[in-house]
Amino acid sequence: MSPPELEFRSAAPDDASRLVAAFDWLFEPPGSRPAQWDPLVAEERLRRASSSAAATVLLAEHTGELVGFCTVYLDIEPVRFGQRAWVEDLAVHPDHRSLGIGKALLDGAKQWARTRGAMHLELDSAFARTEAHRFYVREGPSWDAVCFGWLL
Amino acid sequence: MRLDVLGHVGSRQNSFTSVIATSFFAYVDNDRFSIGHGPGLFQAADNRRVRFGRGLRSDRANLLGS
């Protein structure tokens, strides 16, 4: 069930500008701003995601104010597991946390992906985000694993 | 060699460490880390993260992980 007084929708390309500002929620500790962060590049990427058939940006709004967002992509098709959906960004405004908005966005991402043929949905999260991990564990993941990344 | 990997991950002190370590044990025990993916390679990673996955069609089909 959606939290009261909230509206959820897929972003339009014109939402990209204010979405970029909301990424600051992800950069707050224990997160950090990527060294290569460029707001103009980010805005263009958000425009592409919100106009692509293989991606969407889900928004949560409270009386018109952006209070949460989630980017989800159809990406690889693993031989063993079939089409994967990947949640890359999931963030809620600091003043609106613990109200079920994150869960509603994650559920929305699952539904979006399921209706587009995805077999599984995955995300990763930095080691330091222990509060987020507790949320993901409560959501009953089918598995967990450890990821490693290298900047190229 | 394997203990080096577990010790490296286990050095992080938080409530999720035990889950991470369990994952490593499970993967190591099942030889999911193939030869050539030694601890030195892991420790050189720029960005170490935890991954969660959820089956959307049949959980049973995904229990083996990826």
Indicate whether A145 belongs to any domain.
no
Half-sphere exposure of B36 (CA within 13 A, CB side): 1
pLDDT in tens, A76-85: 999 999 999 9
Indicate whether A61 belongs to any domain.
yes
pLDDT in tens, A98-132: 999 999 999 999 999 999 999 999 999 999 999 99
**pLDDT for the residue numbered B57:** 82
Indicate whether A78 belongs to any domain.
yes
Sort residue B10 into left (φ over 0), alpha (ψ -120 to 50) or beta.
alpha
Q: State the smallest CA–CA distance between residue A11 and chain B in angstroms.
A: 23
**pTM beyond 0.90, yes or no:** no
**pLDDT for the residue numbered A37:** 97
Judged against a pLDDT cut of 60, whether residue A9 lies above it is answered with: yes
Q: Do A119 and B14 touch (CB under 8 A)?
A: no
A61, β-bridge pairs: A7, A66
Number of domains making up chain A: 1
Contact criterion met (CB below 8 Å) for A42 and A7: no
Distance of alpha carbon A123 from alpha carbon A144, whole angstroms: 10
Indicate whether A53 belongs to any domain.
yes
The CATH number assigned to the domain holding A19 equals: 3.40.630.30
> What own/partner pairs with CB < 8 Å and gap ≥ 24 does A29-35 have?
A30/A126, A30/A128, A30/A129, A30/A130, A31/A126, A31/A128, A31/A129
Indicate whether A151 belongs to any domain.
no
Structural domain for A117, as ranges: 7-138
Q: Do B54 and A140 touch (CB under 8 A)?
A: yes
pLDDT in tens, A11-53: 999 999 999 999 999 999 999 999 999 999 999 999 999 999 9
**pLDDT for the residue numbered A83:** 97
pLDDT in tens, B27-63: 333 333 333 333 444 445 567 899 999 999 864 444 4
Chain A residues with CB-CB distance to B24 below 8 A: 146
Residues A33-64 as b or e (16 or more Cβ within 10 Å = b)? eeeeeeeeebbeebbebbeeeebbbbbbbbee
Measured distance between the N- and C-terminal CA atoms of chain B, rounded to whole angstroms: 23
Indicate whether A146 belongs to any domain.
no
Indicate whether A152 belongs to any domain.
no
Which of A115, A142, A151, A152 has the highest number of chain B CBs within 10 A, making it the mutation to test binding with B? A142
